[in-house]
Amino acid sequence: MTSTTTGSRTQEHIELTETYAAHNYHPLPVVLATGEGAWVTDVDGKRYLDCLAGYSALNFGHGHPRLLARMHEQIDRLTLTSRAFYNDQLGPFAKALAGLTGKDLILPMNSGAEAVETAIKVSRRWGYEVKGVEEAQASIIVMEGNFHGRTTTIVSFSNDSDATTGYAPYTPGFRMVPYGDIAAIRAALDDSTVAVLLEPIQGEGGVIIPPEGFLREVRALCDEHDVLMVADEIQSGLGRSGTTFACDHEGVVPDVYILGKALGGGLYPVSAIAADHRVLDVITPGSHGSTFGGNPLAAAIGAEVVAMLETGEFQARAVELGARLEAGLAPLIGNGFDAVRIRGLWCGIDITDGVATGRQVTEALLGLGVLAKEAHGQTVRLAPPLVASEEDIDTLVAAFVAVMGSFSG
């Protein structure tokens, strides 16, 4: 087991960061230096099981040999050209990702927030040019408890006060409804509606899984009213939930996929949206872009990620390990846990109020060599890399059993 005592190098790095970096995060007191697979090591040589995996950006673990090899190969050749020119990696990447999503086209960007902003812009322009919505009147229906990023426009439709306080005036054009409430979506629809934007599973909210059939009902409602269904699969997609996309659990295909995080293999920021011609053909030269979006290094990594997902190995692994995790954690429901939500290898645990807070649990887990993240006070989120072993999952379960025993005992 790992001690919580911070070494001299750890404290030195924490002080340096707190002195010179803005305080927009409140990290646990650990300073990571190296990583391999599902494990990381801090600057004082202590090892930890990484059960956050960069918010699912590290689905393939730290330093996956196949991804590193492809990255090193491309770094030695060409890293950036800008989209003022073609490069020999973007075309193959676009074809591969279009194939994975079943869509005609992709539009590559860098961060997840950029991809969400891209989807918003495309949805509005589609509404004006294709659906015929009156200019400047387009509305997008969004969900309570959402997390799509932290740009000014995106926080404009967040109901998280930490994300919104101090950033008004907010961008108009969004209507918020309760997550999972199809009747509320139906009531919010009108002729100005161009899209319904949702996470098939709300990650930042605590791995919130919608009611069975909700995604199918949204799909049917969007078809009925000529509205785009836009699925933010930045965290839920690319194998995390046990399928390539979380929408696959209900056999639903959205009009627009929003992808990021694991698309860069944990090595590089890569994001994209994917849609058919009827949607993405509204984008014309000069109407949207990015200096780094679609650069050859990003494209090479992204194409390798797609090739790895096409084997189905990682999706199956998420299912197997998720079942093992669920079996191990289930006995704690009623014994420190109020609920455990698992879809694939993605888990949200609600800690019983009065037993401990989510932060206290993650701090205690840190002392046992396990890295996790709290959400909204009483919830702990887990997203181990899909390359974790059965023994790693058992280590995680044992740590939770010990921690909850210490709080209740």
Cβ count within 10 A of residue 57: 24
Annotated active-site positions, please? 147, 232, 261
pLDDT of residue 409: 66
CA atoms of 256 and 231, how far apart (whole Å)? 6
Exposed e or buried b per residue across 290-301, where buried means at least 16 C-beta atoms within 10 angstroms of its C-beta: bebbbbbbbbbb
Alpha carbon 402 to its chain's center = 29
pLDDT class of 144 with cuts at 50, 70, 90: very high
Confirm whether pTM is higher than 0.85. yes
Residue 175 has pLDDT above 60, yes or no: yes
pLDDT of residue 386: 98
CA atoms of 310 and 98, how far apart (whole Å)? 12
Q: Tens of pLDDT along 297-336?
A: 999 999 999 999 999 999 999 999 999 999 999 999 999 9
**Using alpha carbons only, how large is the chain's radius of gyration in Å?**
21
Q: Which domains, from first to last, does the chain contain?
A: 8-61+353-408 (3.90.1150.10), 65-309 (3.40.640.10)
pLDDT class of 7 with cuts at 50, 70, 90: confident
Q: Per-residue pLDDT averaged across 351-367, rounded?
A: 97
Find, among 164, 157, 154, 161, the residue nearest to 143 by Cα. Answer: 157
CA atoms of 203 and 190, how far apart (whole Å)? 28
Q: Per-residue pLDDT averaged across 205-224, rounded?
A: 98
DSSP per position, 203-257: TTTTSBPPPTTHHHHHHHHHHHHT-EEEEE-TTTTTTTTSSSSGGGGGT---SEE
Cβ count within 10 A of residue 194: 26
CA atoms of 194 and 196, how far apart (whole Å)? 7
CA atoms of 106 and 95, how far apart (whole Å)? 8
pLDDT of residue 77: 98
Cis amide prior to 169 (ω within 30 degrees): yes
- Cβ(406)–Cβ(335) below 8 Å: no
Tell me what the pLDDT averaged over the chain comes to.
Answer: 97
Q: Tens of pLDDT along 42-53?
A: 999 999 999 999
Find, among 36, 51, 50, 59, the residue nearest to 317 by Cα. Answer: 59
Question: Sign of the C-alpha dihedral, residues 11, 357, 59, 366?
Answer: positive
Residue 160 has pLDDT above 60, yes or no: yes
Find, among 360, 361, 327, the residue nearest to 342 by Cα. Answer: 327
Find, among 335, 330, 333, 331, the residue nearest to 408 by Cα. Answer: 335
Exposed e or buried b per residue across 228-253, where buried means at least 16 C-beta atoms within 10 angstroms of its C-beta: bbbbbbbbbbbbbbbbbbbbbbbebe
pLDDT of residue 8: 86
Cβ count within 10 A of residue 267: 21
pLDDT of residue 247: 98
Q: Per-residue pLDDT averaged across 143-169, rounded?
A: 97
The CA-to-CA distance between both ends of the chain, in Å, stands at 19
Alpha carbon 71 to its chain's center = 22
Question: Sign of the C-alpha dihedral, residues 218, 142, 199, 332?
Answer: negative
Find, among 168, 167, 186, 169, the residue nearest to 177 by Cα. Answer: 186
Q: Tens of pLDDT along 63-94?
A: 999 999 999 999 999 999 999 999 999 999 99
pLDDT of residue 408: 79
Q: Which helix (H) or strand (E) holds 125?
A: helix 112-126
Of the chain, the percentage scoring pLDDT greater than 70 comes to 98
Of the chain, the percentage scoring pLDDT greater than 90 comes to 97
Contacts of 5 (CB under 8 A, 6+ apart): none
Q: Per-residue pLDDT averaged across 378-390, rounded?
A: 98
Q: Per-residue pLDDT averaged across 205-219, rounded?
A: 98
For residue 119, the SS3 value is helix
CA atoms of 34 and 47, how far apart (whole Å)? 9
Q: Per-residue pLDDT averaged across 355-373, rounded?
A: 97
pLDDT class of 120 with cuts at 50, 70, 90: very high
pLDDT of residue 1: 38
DSSP per position, 301-326: HHHHHHHHHTT-HHHHHHHHHHHHHH
pLDDT of residue 3: 43
pLDDT of residue 5: 56
The pair of structure tokens assigned to 214 is 């909700």
